[in-house]
């Protein structure tokens, strides 16, 4: 994307898609209140992870830079913070589980399962090995984090609209 118009459109599209992922995460999480499972929370975590990924990429694009072709929130956050004046607060239920992609779950032999985003998409590795449950987050507290992240995206959109 070279022109300012193209960059603005990409930024808006990334932000709107990120917001849609957050809305979907909120709906799933609301359904979980009162009775939930780790599998359901993995779905919420994955949707929020996708929203954060796109939100960070939107901030990088808005700053006039090209974002790294990565799903790793650590890489994206580092790049975002280097070029954007807007700050993103990663929700605690994601913050607790992110880090260098190869350091998150060192007890697993599978490289694919070492990556947080892949662990959310697949319950097993390519050899069919299950990974242990990794969340005890209550949906009520996750809903608060999602609402806070939604407030951040709203502030970002207002800043874009200027």
Three-state SS sequence of 64-105: CCCCCCCCCHHHHHHHHHHHCCCCCCCCHHHHCCCCCCCCCC
What pLDDT does 74 receive? 83
Question: Contact, 119 vs 105, CB < 8 A?
Answer: yes
* Distance in angstroms (rounded) separating the CA atoms of residues 28 and 49: 14
What pLDDT does 113 receive? 40
Give the angle subtended at the CA of 16 by the CAs of 98 and 93, to the nearest 5°. 25
Task: Report residues of the chain scoring pLDDT below 50.
Answer: 1, 98-114
pLDDT in tens, 115-131: 555 666 666 766 776 65
What pLDDT does 20 receive? 94
- pTM recorded for the entire structure: 0.79
């Amino acid at each position: 994307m070279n022109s300012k118009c193209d960059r603005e459109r990409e930024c808006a599209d990334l932000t709107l898609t990120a917001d849609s992922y957050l809305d979907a995460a909120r709906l799933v999480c609301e359904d979980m209140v009162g009775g939930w499972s780790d599998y359901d929370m993995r779905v919420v975590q994955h949707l929020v992870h996708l929203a954060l990924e796109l939100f960070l990429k939107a901030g990088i694009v808005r700053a006039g830079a090209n974002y790294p072709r990565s799903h790793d929130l650590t890489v994206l956050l580092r790049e975002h913070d280097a070029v954007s004046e807007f700050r993103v607060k990663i929700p605690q239920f994601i913050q607790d589980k992110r880090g260098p992609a190869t350091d998150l779950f060192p007890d697993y032999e599978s490289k694919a399962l070492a990556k947080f985003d892949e662990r959310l998409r697949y319950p097993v590795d390519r050899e069919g090995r299950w990974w242990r449950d990794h969340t005890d987050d209550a949906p009520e507290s996750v809903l608060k984090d999602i609402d806070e992240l939604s407030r951040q995206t709203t502030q970002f959109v207002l800043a874009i609209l200027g």
